[in-house]
Structure 1
C-alpha cells in the first residue's frame, strides 16, 4: 500500500497495513462530524480499529510519537460512534454492525459527560495509554484519519 502525501504507513506484526494522518496543533481540531468530513475530503475516514493488531499498532505509534502527560495531553477522535443513540457503537465503515473488538479504558463507555451530556463519539486519549473513551461529539479536538 502506498500512502498519500501527509499520511504515515503503519504495519502490524501480521502484515496488515494502514496509512494514517494524525492531526496536530491547536488549529487542526474539529468536532467528530467535522473531523469525519475532513478525513473524507482528504480521501479517507476517521480511523477504524477493527482488529487487535490495528489497535496495538496505533497505540504503539501514538505512544512513541506523542507526549502523554500533563495538561494538553492529546485526545484524538477515531471512527467509532453510537449512530443510533442506543448505547451500541459502530464503525464509520459499517454503521449497521456493532463493534466486536474493543479497547475501552476502565469504566468506559460511561455515556455521561460534563453536565450529564450524552457521549456518543469515541476518542483515544493519552492519559489512558490511548484506550477508548466515549465523549460528547461536539467537542473540538484532534483526530486520526485512515486512507481508504
Structure 2
C-alpha cells in the first residue's frame, strides 16, 4: 500500500468516522469501495485498518483481515473517498445580504460587525456543514485577521 493512497484515504475515513474512533482504539472499515482520485485506483471490497486513529493498511477484501479486537464498520454498498478540499472560501462573506459592505454598503441597515459576530457565533455549524458535504479542508483566500481564530477553532 503506497503512502499516497493511505494519506488520501486518511482524511475521509478519520473525519467521517471520527465519532467511532477512540484515540487508542483500533478500527476496521470493511466491504466498501475505496477510491483514490490521485491515481484513479478503485479498490472493491476494501478493508481499511486504523490503529490509534491512523490508517495503517488499505487492501482489497480478498487479502484484508480486520484488526483483531477492532471495532468493525460495515461499509458494504458504500464508497470510501478522501476528504475534499474547498480551495476558495470567504468565511466572512457568507452569501448574506450584509456581508459585502465594500460592494454594497448596507451598514446603515445592519452593521458589518453584527454580521461578523453572527458568523463567529455559528462557526461550529458551518464546520459541521462542510464535514457533512465531505469537505475536510478549506482555504479562506482573504478575510479579516480573525481568520486565525477560525483556524484555531477548527483545529480544536
Common fold: TM-score over 0.5: no
Q: Shorter-chain TM-score: what band?
A: under 0.3
TM-score (norm 1): 0.21
Structure label with greater radius of gyration: 2
Structure possessing the higher relative contact order (Cα contacts under 8 Å, 6 or more residues apart): 1
